[in-house]
Structure 1
Amino acid sequence: MKREDALYNWLQIQIVADARPDDRSALDTAAFFADILREDHQASECEYRREGDWYVVRCVFPDEVWERRYPSEEAESLLAAIENEPRYNE
């Protein structure tokens, strides 16, 4: 998986996991993408923060410190989809 794809997938599911701390599937999936980042891309210290209408992802790689901004609506789209699905909110 490309580094950019892994980071974006990690961001989206980590937002879900943080919003739904009792959602075992979200937690497991977030851990899966964190493992991909560590094992396949030698990433460390991956974190995100919200700044206004943006999410900023920062991650340390052996050759660089990487930072990227994503629109909050885009980053939260998975959470919105899950919260709008009744079977996931019982």
Structure 2
Amino acid sequence: MRSIQDALYNWLTIKTVAEARPDDEAAKETYALFADMLFHEHGVTETKLEKHEEMYMVYYTAHGLEKTARFPSELIDCYVEQMEREPQKFQNYK
């Protein structure tokens, strides 16, 4: 993944899915993959997440520098919302 912004977006998206579906092993594995990518490819050692009505705020440390990224809630939450609306399309394979 080339940009840290893209890596954080993917990490945050699958994090919300994994938290909404704690029995979904594929979501857990994918979350671990993106967390590993943040660490190894982008030097992210710490993350802190805050959800506000309109935005997710990601506070992180990369290569010793504290930084912030923000993502619109509607872009992140749409995946979980779609899974809740159409559960038949998103079977949980254990």
Q: Same fold (TM over 0.5)?
A: yes
Matching residue's letter, 1:88: F
Tell me what 1:82 maps to: 83
The equivalent residue for 2:72 is 71
Q: Which runs of 5+ in 2 are unaligned?
A: none
TM-score (structure 1 length as normaliser) = 0.87
Aligned CA RMSD, in angstroms, stands at: 1.7
Name structure 1 gaps, 5 residues minimum. none
1:59 aligns with 2:60: yes
- Distance in 2 (CA, whole Å) between partners of 1:83 and 1:40 is 32
Q: How does 1:22-61 map to 2 (within 5 A)?
A: 22-61=23-62
Check conservation: 1:42, 1:62, Cα contact below 8 A: yes
Displacement of 1:59 in angstroms is 1.1
In 2, Cα distance between the equivalents of 1:45 and 1:58?
Answer: 8
Distance 2:46 2:55 in 1: 20
- Quick one: distance in 2 between partners of 1:69 and 1:33? 17
Residue type at the aligned position of 2:23: D
Contact 2:5 2:69 in 1 (8 A): no
TM-score (norm 2): 0.83
Q: CA deviation at 1:33?
A: 0.3
- The total of aligned residue pairs comes to 90
